[in-house]
Amino acid sequence: MATKSKFLRGRKIDPAPITSKTTLATLVDEAFLAYNAARLREACHLFTRKMLEPEVTIGLSLTGALTPAGLGISALIPLIKAGFIDWIISTGANLYHDTHFGIGLSMHQGNAQTSDIVLREEEVVRIYDIFFDYSVLLDTDAFFRKIIEAKEFQKTMSTAEFHYLCGRYVYERERKLGLKDKSLLAVAYEYAVPIYTSSPGDSSIGMNVAAKALQGNKLAFDPSLDVNETAAIVLAAKRSVGKAGKTGKKPAKRKPGQSACFILGGGSPKNFLLQTEPQIQEVLGIDERGHDYFLQVTDARPDTGGLSGATPGEAVSWGKVDPDRLPDAVVCYVDSTVALPIITAYALSQHAPREPKRLYERRDEFMALLLAEYKKSKRR
């Protein structure tokens, strides 16, 4: 009998029938066997079995209108509370629309086929099939314009500091309104998860900051702080040593720190997350090899040349991803609104919570490390 081909060593496709008692984890493990379902299974496994190890620092990039669809409340906030997200790069729009929920404003399901002319006449704003009253924009604008008048905002700062300060105000507004865990900004403040925006002027938050600047407000964003702080977070993650776990009766060996990228969509936040490694290696001349884990959920194709579809293999050529870790890279070609809830539910059911890293509170420490290593570099 001929030797069986190595290409036939994969798991036999013979799933058990789905029943009324099938759990989500069982569905993913036993029924997501091929095509993009298999990639989603691989994403669940990569995130839960490798990225959630205690020595791994997880950075999330967030694009697309996910918070208006309620995914901040349903998925991102539970992930933060479980210690499964350590730092974030988001579009400003996601943070702006997230604030609606934290200050007691409402979004509604709608029909995408409704006439936009009729909606405009009735002062209803549409994000595809999400509807909300025009006053929601005005009230959220007023909220941001009021809080950035405060003394602590009258300076130049990183977007992480700005969002942390804003999160404190949203957190207090939630408390007064009797709300709980409605705003990503508020929960990120509570858990000291730093949130950066790669294009702070490209949102209604940035537009209101610009409007206040015309009145003499001193708030300004320093993109260089964002670039260096995010690089410092990654460098500190790679230089640190994780906590030892337990395997049976013997403690596991301590492992070196690792960095993971969890990318929802693509665009500028994706690049800002990944460029941390070229900033460390190429620009600052510090010895490093790239991120250890790459998990992207996208509907973009790589052959159009757009960043959103750029593969982890392409990222290796830039030094963004460690070539030795390329097997630990998954691209899941699924809508984020489908994949994120599934990955979240799978991870929460299969992995115990991690201790929050509270990285915002350690930014000065991380920057000191970055500067110390840069001083040794020949690139200066």
Count Cβ atoms below 10 Å from residue 290 Cβ, excluding itself. 27
Alpha helices in 46-190 (DSSP H): 71, 77-81, 92-102, 116-121, 134-147, 159-177, 184-190
Q: 3-state DSSP call for residue 321?
A: strand
378 counts as catalytic? no
- Asked whether 231 and 160 are in contact (CB, 8 A), the reply is no
Pairing of strands 220-221, 195-196: unpaired
Alpha helices in the chain (DSSP H): 24-31, 35-45, 71, 77-81, 92-102, 116-121, 134-147, 159-177, 184-190, 204-213, 223-239, 267-274, 276-278, 312-317, 336-350, 363-375
149-155: list long-range contacts, CB under 8 Å, 24+ apart.
149/212, 149/217, 153/217, 153/218, 153/219, 154/217, 154/218, 154/219, 155/218, 155/219, 155/220
Of the candidates 182, 238, 270, 320, the residue annotated as catalytic is 320
Query: Rounded to whole angstroms, how far apart are CA atoms 233 and 361?
Result: 11
Say how far residue 347 (Cα) sits from the centre of its chain.
15
Query: Rounded to whole angstroms, how far apart are CA atoms 341 and 75?
Result: 6
- Which residues are known to be catalytic? 320
